[in-house]
C-alpha cells in the first residue's frame, strides 16, 4: 500500500522560529510536492522537486525553502515563521511525466504560528 | 489568477439523491482533469480523472463529464451516501507540464439522511 508520511500532525510554533516539516514516501517516486491548504483558497503549490537535489518554485514560495537530499524525503523549511504561515501543509508524491498522473498525499500537518 | 474554479463552496444533498459538483476552467491547454476527495484531518485522495479527449468517464457511483466548449466539468455521485460527505477538489494538468496539478478551491459536500 502506497504511503506518504509527514513528521507531525499538529505543530505550534512562535513567530520568528525556524520550522522544519518532513515528508517521506515509500513509493520510489521521483516527484514530490509541498502544498498549503487554506479555506476558500484550495491547495496552493509551494515547491516541487522532480529529483534529488532538484527543486522548482511553485505559486507561493515566498518565506519557504525546501531540501531534497534523498529520493524518499522532502523537507519544507520556514526560515522565520510568521502568523500568516498558519495553515494546513500537505506533502504529495507522484511518478513523472504521464498525463493524469495521480499524486499521493500525506495526512497533512496543521501548523499554528503564534 | 484562478485557472480552475469551483464556484460553489458548499453543497447539501439528501442520501440516495444525486450530487453534482461543478468545476470551470480558463486554460484551453489543460489535458487532464482529476477529482480529489478530502476528509478532515486527512490528505486528499484521488477519486476519478478524465482526459481532455473524452467527454465522460465512469467509475461505479462516480461519473465525470467534460464539456470542452464550455470549459466546464462536473462530478456526479449517484446515489449519494453519508460517507461521501467531504471536500471535493477539481484539479487539472497542462500539456506542457503534466507533473503539476492546478487545484480549484474546493466544494464541501454534505450528504444528510
Residues of A with CB under 8 A from a CB of B: 4, 9, 31, 33, 35, 40-45, 48, 50, 58, 90, 92, 94, 96-108, 110
What pLDDT score was predicted for residue A95? 86
Using CA atoms, how far residue B110 sits from A28, A67, A86, B20, B39, in Å, is: 36, 38, 26, 12, 11
Domain segments of chain A: what residues? 4-113
SS3 B83: helix
In eight-state DSSP terms, residue B86 is E
- The domains of chain B, with CATH numbers, are 4-112 (2.60.40.10)
Instruction: Say how far apart CA A56 and CA A36 lie, in whole Å.
Output: 16
Judged against a pLDDT cut of 90, whether residue A45 lies above it is answered with yes
Mind listing the pLDDT tens digit for each residue in B49-108?
A: 999 999 999 999 999 999 999 999 999 999 999 999 999 999 999 877 778 899 999 999
Please check whether residue B82 touches A, CB under 8 A.
no
- Phi, psi for A84 (deg, rounded to 5): -75, 0
What pLDDT score was predicted for residue B41? 83
Sign of the four-CA dihedral A25, A30, A36, A41 = negative
In eight-state DSSP terms, residue A102 is P
With CB atoms and an 8 Å threshold, state whether B34 touches A102.
yes
With CB atoms and an 8 Å threshold, state whether A107 touches B51.
no
Using CA atoms, how far residue B82 sits from A57, A77, B110, in Å, is: 39, 38, 7
Judged against a pLDDT cut of 80, whether residue A99 lies above it is answered with no
Sign of the four-CA dihedral A67, B46, A4, A27 = negative
Position A89 confidence tier, pLDDT thresholds 50, 70, 90:
very high
Judged against a pLDDT cut of 90, whether residue A34 lies above it is answered with yes
Instruction: Look up the CATH superfamily of A4-113.
Output: Immunoglobulins (2.60.40.10)
Cell numbers 467509475: residue: B59
Mean pLDDT (chain A, rounded): 93
What pLDDT score was predicted for residue A2? 67
Amino acid at each position: 500500500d502506497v504511503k506518504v508520511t509527514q513528521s507531525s500532525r499538529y505543530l505550534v510554533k512562535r513567530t520568528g522560529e525556524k520550522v522544519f516539516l518532513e515528508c517521506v514516501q515509500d513509493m520510489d517516486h521521483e516527484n514530490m510536492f509541498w502544498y498549503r491548504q487554506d479555506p476558500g483558497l484550495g491547495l496552493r503549490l509551494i515547491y516541487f522537486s522532480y529529483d534529488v537535489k532538484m527543486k522548482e518554485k511553485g505559486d507561493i514560495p515566498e518565506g519557504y525553502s525546501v531540501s531534497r537530499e534523498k529520493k524518499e524525503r522532502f523537507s519544507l523549511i520556514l526560515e522565520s515563521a510568521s502568523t500568516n504561515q498558519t495553515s494546513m501543509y500537505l506533502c504529495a508524491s507522484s511518478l513523472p511525466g504521464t498525463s493524469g498522473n495521480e499524486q499521493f498525499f500525506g495526512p497533512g500537518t496543521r501548523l499554528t504560528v503564534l | 489568477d484562478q485557472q480552475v474554479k469551483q464556484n460553489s463552496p458548499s453543497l447539501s444533498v439528501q442520501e440516495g439523491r444525486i450530487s453534482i459538483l461543478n468545476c470551470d476552467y480558463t486554460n484551453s491547454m489543460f489535458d487532464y482533469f482529476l477529482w480529489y476527495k478530502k476528509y478532515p484531518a486527512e490528505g486528499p485522495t484521488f477519486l476519478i480523472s478524465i482526459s481532455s479527449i473524452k467527454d465522460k468517464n465512469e467509475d461505479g457511483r462516480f461519473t465525470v463529464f467534460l464539456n470542452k466548449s464550455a470549459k466546464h466539468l462536473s462530478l456526479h455521485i449517484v446515489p449519494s451516501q453519508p460517507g461521501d460527505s467531504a471536500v471535493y477538489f477539481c484539479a487539472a494538468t497542462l500539456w506542457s507540464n503534466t507533473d503539476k496539478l492546478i487545484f480549484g478551491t474546493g466544494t464541501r459536500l454534505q450528504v444528510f439522511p
